[in-house]
Amino acid sequence: MAAKWIETLTGSLEQKKQYKRAKARLDALPEPYLTAGNAVNRYLLYYGGVTEGDTMVRMLVDLADLWERAAVDGTLVVEIVGDDPVDFAETFAQAYGGKRWIDKERARLVKEIDRVTGEDTP
């Protein structure tokens, strides 16, 4: 009973555990995959703007899978991220659907402009 109440306030406890396990996998990588993986993860947290926990967890698990595989195969970091790490990270994030915080702000902007201009849209 208490767990459901806590999850209502904080989100899924299972998702938090999955996130921590995936983050631990990233933190266990050898260099230079450790630094690259954590840098991409940090960027995704800012850029991704994902509001759904399951989407965020899936993204991080897939990111950990990617860097672990690269470490095992000896793939160079530049072979993964290419010449533009920002483009790589943003393309990676776009592969995941789900609601993003910016969606809410876009809707709020349209609603406010419609309100002050007298237009009514759903």
In angstroms, the Cα distances linking 40 to 4, 6, 106 are 33, 30, 26
Digits of tens for pLDDT over the chain (122 positions)? Answer: 566 666 665 668 898 999 999 999 999 999 999 999 999 999 988 887 777 788 889 999 999 999 999 999 999 999 999 999 999 998 998 888 767 667 788 888 999 999 999 865 55
Predicted local confidence at residue 81, as pLDDT: 96
Predicted local confidence at residue 10, as pLDDT: 63
Predicted local confidence at residue 106, as pLDDT: 81
CB atoms within 10 A of CB 17: 11
Does this model's pTM top 0.85? no
Predicted local confidence at residue 46, as pLDDT: 82
C-alpha span between 15 and 80 (Å, rounded): 27
* Helix intervals (H) in 50-121: 53-73, 77-81, 85-94, 101-117
Say which CATH topology domain 2-117 has.
Answer: c-terminal domain of poly(a) binding protein (1.10.1900)
Residues 6+ apart with CB under 8 A from 67: 26, 29, 33, 36, 37, 80
Predicted local confidence at residue 97, as pLDDT: 74
Residues 6+ apart with CB under 8 A from 108: none
